Amino acid sequence: MRRSLKPIEEQVVVVFGATSGIGREAACRLARRGARVVVAARSETALNTLAEELRREGGEATAAAAEVTEPEQVQAVAEHAVATYGRLDTWVHAAGVGLWASFAQMTPKEWQRVIEVNLNGAVYGAMAALPHLKREGRGALIHVSSAEARLALPLQTAYAASKHGLSGFLKALRLELEHEGLAVQVTEVMPSAINTPLFDKARTHIGTKPVPMRPFYQPSVAAEAILYAAAHPIDEITAGGAGRAGMLLQQAAPSLMNGFLRTAAFPLQRTKEPKGPDAPDNLFQHLEGYDRSEGDFTGESRATSFYTWLSMHPRVRQILAAAAVGAAAVLAGRGRRPESGHR
């Protein structure tokens, strides 16, 4: 089944989780490239400010506040997009929360909230968007997962569970849509460690402000992967080569990878900045003051990823692969000794 997606400048796009981080960066870039964008999240004030900013820059944008764990509110966002712009072409789901704690420190309410937002909220997004995408006959359902959909880090049991669950959901959904012969593309975007305000806003029981395991990438790396997926049918794409390397190592040498994580992952996820469980966080409500794309690690973050760039340029990847095969053949030929002709 051949899928085709509209150019970004012809699309109506909902970005859920647009007030900060990857979602905000993707919404800004989509609007700048001509898409009509509906920005959605739980803070009406933050969303209105963002929509006004995008319109001042010359883009088309409107805001729709909703709590991602309430299916009716999520559905209302999709209906708002159709009522405002006439249709829906792409749904980008980037809403998510983090919680740093050992499993023993976690409360049932905290566990439930992470699963509700990161997994169930994503499912509600798909439920809201799919009827409209099916009616258009094509479109993209893009969910921001994580490298932790394939890996699992200690101190992030709830987060890892939510992302593993999201990945399984998207794979099964994709197969169902393919079986129905529907030209709706389901894409999983798996960011590596991204420099977003998530680490400032997250609840923590580890005694310090958490930090992603290095290396970090700027939100633009993940946002460009989202924009690529909005216009090019692709099942999954990893934002940042470090995440992909970790996934491959987990597959090829799980004992080695698990040994590394068992020892190094605990200190590498802690900063020196004290932060207790009573500090303000965004687990259950919007946290003011962090409505931006980047976090506190800009100076340490990579602005590009060659691996992700290659993922978005398949022709270049094919040329490089062919060149590598040719070089290997030449080297193999040079390594053969000529036969003397004597026995």
pLDDT at 343: 44
**Could you tell me if residue 195 is inside a domain?**
yes
Domain-embedded: residue 1 = no
pLDDT at 1: 61
Kindly give the interhelix angle for 44-56 and 21-32, rounded to the nearest 10 degrees: 30
Q: What is the CATH number of the domain that holds 88?
A: 3.40.50.720
| SS3 label, residue 5 | coil
Catalytic center residues:
159
pLDDT digits (tens, 9 = 90+) for 53-111: 999 999 999 999 999 999 999 999 999 999 999 999 999 999 999 999 999 999 999 99
123 occurs within a structural domain: yes
Asked if the structure places residue 151 within a domain, the reply is: yes
Q: If DSSP codes are grouped into helix, strand and coil, which group holds residue 123?
A: helix
| Domain membership flag for residue 106 | yes
21 in a domain, yes or no?
yes
Domain count, the chain: 1
Question: Is 339 inside any structural domain?
Answer: no
**Could you give the CA distance from residue 199 to residue 195 in angstroms, rounded to a whole number?**
8
- pLDDT the model gives residue 30: 98
- Write down the pTM of the prediction: 0.93
pLDDT in tens, 191-210: 999 999 999 999 999 999 99
pLDDT (tens digit, 9 = 90+) per residue, 168-194?
Answer: 999 999 999 999 999 999 999 999 999
Closest CA to 275 of 340, 202, 172: 202
Per the CB < 8 A criterion, the answer to whether 271 and 210 are in contact is yes
Locate 136 and state its tokens: 């258009």
Domain that holds residue 13: 9-327
Ranges of the chain with pLDDT below 70: 1-2, 328-329, 335-343
Residue 343 lies in a domain: no
